[in-house]
Structure 1
Amino acid sequence: MSKTFTKTILTFLLLCMTSVFAQAQNVIISGTITDKTTKEPIPGVGITVKGTTSGTATDINGKYNFSTSQKAPFIIVISYVGYAPIEKQITGNVSKLDAALEQVGILGQEVVISASRTPERILESPVSIERMGATAIKEVAAPSFYDALTNLKGVEMSTQSLTFKSINTRGFNSNGNTRFNQYVDGMDNQAPGLNFSVGNIVGINDLDVDNVELLPGASSALYGAGGISGTMLITSKNPYDYQGASFQFKSGINHVDDATSKVQPFNQLDVRVAKAFNNKFAFKGSFSFLQAEDWHANNYSDFDRAARKFKEGTRETDPNYDGINVYGDEVSQNMRNVAQAAVNAGTSGFIQQALGLPAPPTAAQIAGFKANPAGLTALNTFLGTDPRFRPFVAGLANKALLPDQAVSRTGYEELNLVDYKTQSLKGSGALHYRFTPTIEAIAQANWGTGTSVYTGSDRYSLRNFSIGQFKLELKGQDFFLKGYTTQERSGDSYISSILGSYINETSKKSTDWFPQYVGNYVGAKATGLTDAQAHAAARAAADVGRYQPGSPQFEAAKEKIMNTTIASTDFKNGTYGAKFNDKTNLYHYEGMYNFSNALKNVVELQVGASYRMYQLRSGGTIFDDLDKGIDINEYGAFAQIGKKLLDDKLKLTFSGRYDKSSNFDGRFTPRITGVFTVAPNNNIRVSYQTGYRNPTTQNQYIDLSVGGGSQRLIGGLPASLNKYELLLNKPFTDVSYRAFLASASAGTPNPALLQAYDFDPKGVRPESVQSYELGYKGLLGPKFMIDAYAYYSIYKDFITAVDVYQGNKDGSFTKFGVPVNAKGEVKTYGGAIGLDYLIGKYNLSGNVSYNKLDRLPEDYINDFNTPEFRYNLGFGNQQIIKNVGFNVNWRWQGKFYWNSSFASGDVPAFSTLDAQVNLKIPSVNSMIKIGGSNVLNKYYFTSYGNPSVGALYYVSYVFNP
């Protein structure tokens, strides 16, 4: 942890110490809350001062103790989901204020914080919000709470591997979702070198999750840059309220009826321990370890990367085959170009030898030699009779022998390159100290490491990577100050396509492989073989000496390349590396004060500010930082004011935030909301929200070879454009380049078809969104709740990417992928409706979501990546018979087209069924659960190029859940 970080936190703490000693005389209240029927204590019961945000919750033993500066007399509200609330009048200090709650079907009483950054009933939230509480988490049918998030209204998930999943709402889904924010205990959970969260690999295990709140849509007015599609806040359990030791062991199987693997074991252990002393000092720690065989990506469809579309073909039928999950076959050359290069090399070598030149001849010397009839005759004789060049001369002279056809190298399947032995180890610890009943200091550390697979512009094998988050925080009833750092370490991670390509280069250089292929093809054609037979013979000849998967030569080359960094690659010396060396860090400082209690009955007012710094340190393996460090600074401040009107039936809130990045102009993002109570527990909400996101750290500074070395991804800042002279030596659009290739294939290459692409000299800019929403949430009686909304969003400066081809002096082209802003506006609209109905002790829930792309600029590659319709249906009972409960969730989504920098294609419609049945054993405070996700074992994939997901069946035992 840096000295700057530590000094800043200490400064924050000292500035607030006066708050500790300036407390007024407080009223102290304590007691125990139990279930009226079972007499058992109830943990997590909310006790709040009516009309304020002051309060606490019961601990694992149902006990509570809190202090408030509220002047007596006042009323406290004791409430818990599924129980009737109780109100009690307080006239002074009181101990043993016990209460017994009675179970009753009441919905919509949950308290949420994220929608307004202050506690409020979920029914009164000014914007759409989804919530999953501790009780629901305990009963989920999915393997983990994170897997179950996809059952929430409007939420979708992209699964890249067993442990790497990305959450999204309202369209523009992606494998690594940079448009969605995820916070864990107030810490941005993104990997700073990627700018998106790595699922729940570094987060909280199920035993320590208190609740999850999810805001669909723009949220920059409260949370700053990012979150243009949504924000999710995951909160862990407080050690004062949830004490004791608990553990969970889960064991199961996956890969059932999988053509790529036999049945494989799945095991996971979760542990949590917490203890408080005198309600002053408390600590907690948690640990989780998962081990399993990951899902295998085995999409071997032929893909045209230039046109970004599927093409018919296999390795046997298409000489230029490029399989989605096959790597090394991205390297491709045109056969006639190979032949011409060979002839040129022969010409140069012959002339140098004939004239006795000390170096290869210049273009003028070659032209002069050819102008001499005797010299030209000698040259043609040499080329036509020398066995090294004769096939190439013959092929160029006769298209029947050598067509204008591209061929690719033989690749390796992902199974042979990627580490599928998934492991995830994560731990967290926290120390809490209460200076007063309302002011608390926290030191917290979350750390995780593991092996997984992530899909970006390539498939990346994340081996032994780690991310740590370390936080210091001082918080009170009305304020908080915190600072944290995120430390990202890539470990032994590498790019699978680069690995496949470089294993090929180690076994035989492409400069040898392609001439061998062409020479043998011409020879085979000359003997009368068909095109298919000639291609088969040519590939067999060129592949002689190719390292076979599993062979000692293959494993030795693989091991060496995996452990050599990308920046160390040197083609001349035969050094090849596919490994990252990322040590990127993020430092974040933030403070907020809520003046609402001080301005009681006047207005609700909050203000806050933040500072963030990214330190990009990849050693030239991801960013353009081989011999330098790159820092990015971001500043922001926000304010929110709210007021209730019309006898508290209408609440209006205005929020505004200003943010500035060191590389971009400042941005102001306002939000206006209104909530109108049309009847008790029935509210209509209207909102205008704005959001924006800066180009990611990779959008700004990436400098990386991908696609087996066939493409270079670079940042969109002016410095990157100038580094590769894309503003001076203008590249050509991918559409015009493909048209040029088509003309060349037809035998009449037409350079006039090439159209230059003009980059904005100022580079890529932040994108923004304006979103309008109308919603309704209400109780139609105590057993039926409905939540519905419709939205319309307008995006500007949408960050997309272009593929361009820059001409080189030797007549070849270099392909670049560059982030740019789409011209014009991107418009989307949609809505969702959710229903919850209590039938006795049964809970029936369902929701449907609709998302539609309305308008798209011509220069924008559509990556809306979202089905129009999604359905979810849930049915459960916590106690169908004594101590036995169950839960079932079914979901369906429609077919849609997935577009990304890795692969594009149709994602078929699919449905899944998750189910679990549990047995509670109160005598030992334990629960046994038997369940499964996708229990019907219908394999599906969520995004094109990612693995298909089958069933995962499990049994778990949890103590002290």
Structure 2
Amino acid sequence: MFTKAIFTLLLAITGFTVYAQSVVVSGLVTDKQTKQPIPGVGITVKGTTSGTATGANGRYSFSTSQKPPFVLVISFLGYASIEQEITGNTSDLIAELEPTAILGQEVVISASRTPERILESPVTIERIGAAAIKELPSASFYDALTSLKGVEASTQSLTFKSINTRGFNSNGNTRFNQFVDGMDNQAPGLNFSVGNIIGLSELDIDNVELLPGASSALYGAGGINGTLLMTSKNPFKYPGASFQFKTGVNHVNDDNSAVQQFNQLDVRVAKAWNNRFGFKATFSYLQAKDWFGNDSRNFDRVNNVLKPGDRNSDPNYDGINVYGDEVSQNMRNLVQGSIEPAIRAGILQASGNQFDPRLALGNVPAGSSYPVYLNFINTNVPAALRPAVINQYLPFYYGLTYPALLPNQSISRDGYNEADLVDYNTKSLKASGSFNYKITSTIEAIAQLTWGSGTSVYTGADRYSLRNFSIGQYKLELKGEDFFLRGYTTQERSGDSYISSVLGVSINEVASPNNTWFPAYIGSFIGARLGGQSVDAAHGTARTAANSTGRGRLLPGTVAFENVKNQIMNTNISATNINLTDPSKSVYGARFDDKTNLYHYEGMYNFSNALNNVVELQIGASSRLYQLRSGGTIFDDLNEDLNINEYGAFAQLGKKLFKDKFKLTFAGRYDKSTNFEGRFTPRITGVLTVAENNNIRASYQTGYRNPTTQNQYIDLSVLGGATRLIGGLPRSLNKYNLYADKGVLRKDYTAYLASVASSPTNTGDPSLLVPYTFDAKGLRPESVQSYELGYKGLISKQLLIDAYGYYNTYKDFITAITLFRGGTSYGVPVNAAGNVNTYGAALGLDYLLNKYTLSGNVSYNQIGDLPADYDNDFNTPKIRYNLGLANREIIKNVGFNVQYRWQGKYHWFSSFVVGDVPAFSTFDAQVNLKVPSVNSMIKIGGSNILNKYYVTSFGNPAIGALYYVSYTFNP
């Protein structure tokens, strides 16, 4: 279906293409001082994307349908650009570039989806080119994105990072779009970009462009807070072979681990024949030991705050990165409520033929021991009912017999440290390739595949161990100077991934089921108190006794622990089947099985050249299909396939006015999704040239995002079974009897909104619960209106200034609430009432001092007043800044780059954990030696070279230094 549709579209376009007469241009580019050829120089027709790049010998040749005369731009980082007029076929055109440093001359595409100088962009945009990428000090180009103005990252593991701008940062950022060669980089089952797991190899990056803020008018749903576009190298422009090997160490002075080795290999091969057929292939493999999530501080999940104590001092201890201890019961509540559920279920009756433990308790002398009680049961209870009576009613017996000895205290099970459950053997394998064919000199057909697999750790509502996780993207594209038509599919496969807390809880259940462990704890506690022990000592005795029930607590590192762990982590969650009558027959699973697919088709045509550039006009459309396929392990799709369709179309009209001193642009897009009403997102921008290379920009942009696939259809138990995450659509709310229709509460079931200390399982006080009524409009997309004013100017060719301020208003903000019904907790996405306002500003400076480049930027972000009952997940420091100093050649063939980053303290809120993130700073640095004789470069550097461990978001691992040395051939 996918291939047939794309080839039909390709044939339709090529069948109606008008073949214009081509102009052929060829020549040589050399260094004006050394007279040596310069490889990799960009050769482009001004105002278009048509062009090529010089080869290893400095020569180039290409053809274009651009009608002469036109201007050829010859540019390369570190050299002054040259513009030459072309009046017809031209051969052996000699160009000599003079070494210099020029600021603000880069050409960007993403801001308006058409080429323009970065100085003239109508919205804020950041760019990193290929030449700059190879001299970045960080271990990867993706890590270096945080040095850009206003950019922040949430680091969940060594290879999993989420990029964000302008607030509302999160571990899985659904408000930030990321594209690789035009393909949406999101994992469709997760609905957010998975860092650079399936991104580009450093050797294959042509450029990276980042748009902070809303961008839905041009790029569709998502991108409320920003859009990142990464473009790979075209084999026609960048032929040849290159490779890079990087090795280093991390976990230096780490209490969790000895020093560990880090290795990465990147290879790229590209070839073109007759400027007609080309191909490329890339390979990248990384292997390292991941950062450890080892925050063992005690967390109160009812009130979302840290609390004092540890496992030895707090019977209800719940460590942040400890899993399995989320299972908690109040001792008194457990006793008082122990009989009712079984009576309602028909297991026991209050009177009649079946055994009623309340009658039996009246016949057992006060102060009698557990053996006496067992003897009474064995004498009076039918054999088939004895296990249920012993497990279910032992606490009831003790509670009635010794009520004064039973405190109003919650107790939790013993958990396991993250390191005992999660796979920290990080690996990342990325491969990509393309076949390129030029149908004409300006029309190119591309078949491309990008595939990535690896092992990593991701933080959502839980910590997820992504083992052998993979995503493949496969694209067919036809593009020319004025149009493109593409179709691609994203195939997500979760591999052997599992949920850490579900694994911890399940190991405990296999060792000793909860309905055995908690009664044993309570009985032993009362026995210890009767024996004269203090409350604290009795808790210790009770825990030891409870951990000895059943198979006994399974200890990490033992054969028994590893066998149970491997069985559970390789069993799907949907296969879990708890047998209360015979626990030995219970089945537990922590693995999720996600095989979700995305299919996307889009096209765009730029009519500007056809209109002789009197106005700029672009029109485009897209269609998308999500196929949710998790077998009931993530989504509510155990018994049916779930599909979501999305459609959209946009148009943009621009015109230069007042003798080209002012450019005004209007854009708008309409989108429709299966479960939600369609919506229109407009954009208006204006750029005023106040002096040469000095422009003031103003924009009004709108953005929106649909509730994610998980917001709509998730059905997943997390936090050790303490909470079930469900979708916000009526089908999910009805499934769990939370409402009947259009927000009307059922009379026989009442859902309650979580408030402070509101869990009935922890307090037993229903008066603290607030009944909740759903919005009659139902779950719907959130939207933002963004106003921005900025200035970008070049002063004396040495100082580049970029400054902006923005104000955003969010409506129908998608947040989450926790509901309780019948002792069960449900996490449900809803739209917050009222508006949420944010505002901020940023300033960036780049200054050339001889051969040195000094750079710096500072950004400020703030959130306004919040609606009632809205949890503040702005998750962004007020102030952050970056400073940089670089010199490409401080002495012959030797260069360096140093970057310093600082951000202030801020509060972090997520469905996983809540708390303060301390302020931190990092130094990244590298020094490089170029070896022209063998076309190579050696680089020695490190990230966070002072090795001050820091966290970017609460509950995630601390990040230390990574020191490396790399060798690159043909950089």
Question: Shorter-chain TM-score category?
Answer: over 0.9
Give the 3 Å change call, closer, same or farther, for CA 383–673 of structure 1 in structure 2.
farther
| Cα deviation, residue 395, structure 1 | 3.7
Cα deviation digits, residues 477-515 of structure 1 (max 9, x gap): 000000000000000000000001001111111110000
Cα deviation digits, residues 923-952 of structure 1 (max 9, x gap): 000011000000000000100110000000
Does residue 798 of structure 1 match 2:813? yes
Cα deviation digits, residues 695-724 of structure 1 (max 9, x gap): 000000000000111110000011111111
Looking at structure 1, the residues matched to 427 and 647 of structure 2 have their Cα atoms a distance apart, in angstroms, of 37
Which of the residues 944, 950, 955 maps onto 1:940? 950
| Cα deviation, residue 386, structure 1 | 1.6
Looking at structure 1, the residues matched to 294 and 771 of structure 2 have their Cα atoms a distance apart, in angstroms, of 37
Looking at structure 2, the residues matched to 376 and 568 of structure 1 have their Cα atoms a distance apart, in angstroms, of 39
Give the 3 Å change call, closer, same or farther, for CA 368–201 of structure 1 in structure 2.
closer
Whether the 8 Å CA contact 2:63–2:442 is kept in 1: the answer is yes
Looking at structure 2, the residues matched to 51 and 504 of structure 1 have their Cα atoms a distance apart, in angstroms, of 65
Q: What residue number does 1:907 align with?
A: 917
Whether the 8 Å CA contact 1:391–1:523 is kept in 2: the answer is no
RMSD over aligned Cα atoms = 2.2
| Cα deviation, residue 762, structure 1 | 4.5
1:732-881 map, 5 Å: 732-735=752-755, 738=758, 744=764, 749=765, 751-807=766-822, 813-881=823-891
Structure 2 unaligned regions, length at least 5: 375-389, 580-584, 740-745
Looking at structure 2, the residues matched to 822 and 87 of structure 1 have their Cα atoms a distance apart, in angstroms, of 54
1:573-584 map, 5 Å: 573-584=585-596
| Cα deviation, residue 393, structure 1 | 3.9
Whether the 8 Å CA contact 2:334–2:395 is kept in 1: the answer is no
Q: What residue number does 1:563 align with?
A: 570
Q: What residue number does 2:93 align with?
A: 97
| Cα deviation, residue 105, structure 1 | 2.5
Q: What residue number does 1:884 align with?
A: 894
Matched residue of 2:92: which SS?
coil
Structure 1 unaligned regions, length at least 5: 353-358, 808-812
Whether the 8 Å CA contact 2:302–2:757 is kept in 1: the answer is no
Looking at structure 2, the residues matched to 369 and 34 of structure 1 have their Cα atoms a distance apart, in angstroms, of 96
Q: What residue number does 1:457 align with?
A: 461
Which of the residues 381, 401, 419 maps onto 2:423? 419
Does residue 723 of structure 1 match 2:735? yes
| Cα deviation, residue 577, structure 1 | 0.4
Looking at structure 2, the residues matched to 659 and 146 of structure 1 have their Cα atoms a distance apart, in angstroms, of 31
Whether the 8 Å CA contact 2:395–2:519 is kept in 1: the answer is no
Looking at structure 2, the residues matched to 159 and 370 of structure 1 have their Cα atoms a distance apart, in angstroms, of 54
| Cα deviation, residue 305, structure 1 | 1.3
Q: Given residue 944 of structure 1, which amino acid in structure 2 is its aligned partner?
A: F
62-71 vs 458-467, which moves further: 62-71
Looking at structure 1, the residues matched to 305 and 485 of structure 2 have their Cα atoms a distance apart, in angstroms, of 50
Does residue 534 of structure 1 match 2:538? yes
Matched residue of 2:567: which SS?
helix
Which of the residues 478, 487, 503 maps onto 2:482? 478
Q: Given residue 569 of structure 1, which amino acid in structure 2 is its aligned partner?
A: T
Q: Given residue 215 of structure 1, which amino acid in structure 2 is its aligned partner?
A: L
Whether the 8 Å CA contact 1:391–1:522 is kept in 2: the answer is no
Does residue 386 of structure 1 match 2:398? no
Give the 3 Å change call, closer, same or farther, for CA 108–710 of structure 1 in structure 2.
same
Give the 3 Å change call, closer, same or farther, for CA 35–19 of structure 1 in structure 2.
farther
Cα deviation digits, residues 681-705 of structure 1 (max 9, x gap): 0000000000000000000000000
Whether the 8 Å CA contact 1:202–1:446 is kept in 2: the answer is yes
Looking at structure 1, the residues matched to 626 and 952 of structure 2 have their Cα atoms a distance apart, in angstroms, of 31
Whether the 8 Å CA contact 2:42–2:54 is kept in 1: the answer is yes
Looking at structure 1, the residues matched to 642 and 400 of structure 2 have their Cα atoms a distance apart, in angstroms, of 50
Does residue 310 of structure 1 match 2:306? yes
| Cα deviation, residue 39, structure 1 | 2.7
Looking at structure 1, the residues matched to 271 and 395 of structure 2 have their Cα atoms a distance apart, in angstroms, of 80
Whether the 8 Å CA contact 1:440–1:476 is kept in 2: the answer is yes
Which of the residues 652, 656, 664 maps onto 1:640? 652
Q: What residue number does 1:553 align with?
A: 560
Q: Given residue 759 of structure 1, which amino acid in structure 2 is its aligned partner?
A: F
| Cα deviation, residue 396, structure 1 | 4.0
840-849 vs 304-313, which moves further: 304-313
604-613 vs 758-767, which moves further: 758-767
Matched residue of 1:362: which SS?
coil
Give the 3 Å change call, closer, same or farther, for CA 382–248 of structure 1 in structure 2.
same
| Cα deviation, residue 312, structure 1 | 1.3
Give the 3 Å change call, closer, same or farther, for CA 200–50 of structure 1 in structure 2.
closer
Give the 3 Å change call, closer, same or farther, for CA 364–138 of structure 1 in structure 2.
same
Looking at structure 2, the residues matched to 423 and 888 of structure 1 have their Cα atoms a distance apart, in angstroms, of 28
Looking at structure 2, the residues matched to 776 and 880 of structure 1 have their Cα atoms a distance apart, in angstroms, of 32
1:32-181 map, 5 Å: 32-50=28-46, 54-181=50-177
Q: What residue number does 2:2 align with?
A: 5
1:665-680 map, 5 Å: 665-680=677-692
Q: Given residue 102 of structure 1, which amino acid in structure 2 is its aligned partner?
A: E
Q: Given residue 558 of structure 1, which amino acid in structure 2 is its aligned partner?
A: K
Looking at structure 2, the residues matched to 948 and 162 of structure 1 have their Cα atoms a distance apart, in angstroms, of 10
| Cα deviation, residue 44, structure 1 | 3.9
601-610 vs 64-73, which moves further: 64-73
Q: Given residue 537 of structure 2, which amino acid in structure 1 is its aligned partner?
A: Q
Q: Given residue 850 of structure 2, which amino acid in structure 1 is its aligned partner?
A: G
Give the 3 Å change call, closer, same or farther, for CA 550–132 of structure 1 in structure 2.
same
Cα deviation digits, residues 24-62 of structure 1 (max 9, x gap): 222221112222123333344333344555444434443
Matched residue of 2:200: which SS?
coil
Matched residue of 1:923: which SS?
helix
Looking at structure 2, the residues matched to 370 and 245 of structure 1 have their Cα atoms a distance apart, in angstroms, of 80
1:355-754 map, 5 Å: 360-363=347-350, 365=352, 377-378=362-363, 386=373, 392-396=396-400, 398-544=402-548, 545-572=552-579, 573-727=585-739, 728=746, 729-735=749-755, 738=758, 744=764, 749=765, 751-754=766-769
Q: Given residue 842 of structure 2, which amino acid in structure 1 is its aligned partner?
A: A
Give the 3 Å change call, closer, same or farther, for CA 763–348 of structure 1 in structure 2.
closer
| Cα deviation, residue 311, structure 1 | 1.2
Q: Given residue 287 of structure 1, which amino acid in structure 2 is its aligned partner?
A: F
| Cα deviation, residue 166, structure 1 | 0.5
62-71 vs 845-854, which moves further: 62-71
Identity fraction in percent: 68
Give the 3 Å change call, closer, same or farther, for CA 193–222 of structure 1 in structure 2.
same
Whether the 8 Å CA contact 1:177–1:196 is kept in 2: the answer is yes
Which of the residues 238, 248, 265 maps onto 1:242? 238
How does the TM-score come out when normalised to structure 2? Answer: 0.94
Whether the 8 Å CA contact 2:52–2:236 is kept in 1: the answer is no
Q: Given residue 734 of structure 1, which amino acid in structure 2 is its aligned partner?
A: A
Q: What residue number does 1:356 align with?
A: none
Q: Given residue 489 of structure 1, which amino acid in structure 2 is its aligned partner?
A: R
Looking at structure 1, the residues matched to 573 and 927 of structure 2 have their Cα atoms a distance apart, in angstroms, of 49
Whether the 8 Å CA contact 2:488–2:601 is kept in 1: the answer is yes
Whether the 8 Å CA contact 1:516–1:542 is kept in 2: the answer is yes
Looking at structure 2, the residues matched to 437 and 946 of structure 1 have their Cα atoms a distance apart, in angstroms, of 51
Matched residue of 1:786: which SS?
strand
Whether the 8 Å CA contact 1:303–1:324 is kept in 2: the answer is yes
Whether the 8 Å CA contact 2:162–2:173 is kept in 1: the answer is yes
Looking at structure 1, the residues matched to 467 and 671 of structure 2 have their Cα atoms a distance apart, in angstroms, of 35
| Cα deviation, residue 71, structure 1 | 3.4
Q: What residue number does 2:378 align with?
A: none
Whether the 8 Å CA contact 1:60–1:242 is kept in 2: the answer is no
| Cα deviation, residue 89, structure 1 | 2.5
Looking at structure 1, the residues matched to 310 and 361 of structure 2 have their Cα atoms a distance apart, in angstroms, of 43
